[in-house]
Structure 1
């Protein structure tokens, strides 16, 4: 029997719907939580609220798994996220900028766009792994743990100025890395 991790999203949803399979749900959760959280956090700008919104989406998924016409669940999750964000914004009277963001992102989550984003994310992850260790640690705390420069400086015992320099260096090196790959790809064709 193949590992459940190798199942596509459609197969996992079927297992959840038929047998309330906890392992299948966990695989989906691990597979998609970060992408949905980043999307929600970008709009909400509040970690706790974003986590609540994403948790509600996954709770709904557990209670009533959708049926999909394609192998990935991500476009569905982004649509659910937009709906949950809009509900949260209406409930809490969020600002016009957040409402405009939701309005402008409708329909951007096609399967092709998802695959393109996934490929870009792989390039970025590869570039991050090539960063010097201290620079990489600071960058990850800033961009993936959403810590402020002050929080990072306190956590690592370095100055805020040093944190800022590591982030600038990381961004510079990542831009160079990605530009080099793009130039290679363009010259290949």
Structure 2
């Protein structure tokens, strides 16, 4: 059901960046296979946001693997997903909630998380840049993800109780 509901949006996003049908299909296939193998704990409003984020990460891996140009990397950073108006509004609202949650993280945890998720640095690169161990980087990322999930789950519960 997840695949049928969101394949077109995710594929459209990936294809817009990759400009190659075969590569785009492979990237999207990898996303859904990884979800099938290890399903994340997501609520309905965050599913598309998660999938687009997973697509960005898969695209970044593909680009690193194939040594794409800086222009292509910049394009990815500035690209929005292709989806319906409702999905766009839902994604935008979820993004606001996520950004708010990120701002509430402890400073070091927030710094490590943003370097990992938004600057696409590896754990080793982050540890070298900040002068901390890879284990500490992993712990900061785990803590950030835990706190963000808690924050988003609390908001969803509040919204559901209002309806």
**TM bucket normalised to smaller:** 0.5 to 0.7
Is 1:53 aligned to residue 83 of structure 2?
no
1:185 to 142, 159, 162: 159
Q: Does the aligned pair in 2 maintain the 1:40–1:54 contact within 8 Å?
A: no
Once the two structures are TM-superposed, the CA of residue 53 in structure 1 deviates from its matched residue by 3.3
Is 2:105 the partner of 1:131? yes
Q: Which runs of 4+ in 1 moved over 3 A?
A: 36-42, 53-57
1:150 aligns with 2:124: yes
2:90 — aligned with what? 116
Report the CA distance shift for 1:56/1:137 in structure 2 as closer, same or farther (over 3 A): closer
TM-score with structure 1 setting the length? 0.49
Q: Structure 2, unaligned stretches of length 5 or more?
A: 1-51
Pairwise CA distance, 1:165:
0.2
For structure 1, the 5+ residue unaligned runs are: 1-35, 58-73, 79-107
Alignment deviations for residues 55-105 of structure 1 (CA, whole Å, 9 cap, x no partner): 679xxxxxxxxxxxxxxxx7xx75xxxxxxxxxxxxxxxxxxxxxxxxxxx
Taking structure 2 as the reference length, the TM-score comes to 0.56
Aligned length in residues: 107
- Tell me: higher relative CO, structure 1 or 2? Use CA pairs within 8 A at least 6 residues apart: 2
**SS class of match (1:49):** coil
The RMSD of aligned alpha carbons is: 2.9
Q: Within 5 Å, which residues of 2 pair with 1:57-68? A: none
Q: Could you say which structure has the larger radius of gyration?
A: 1
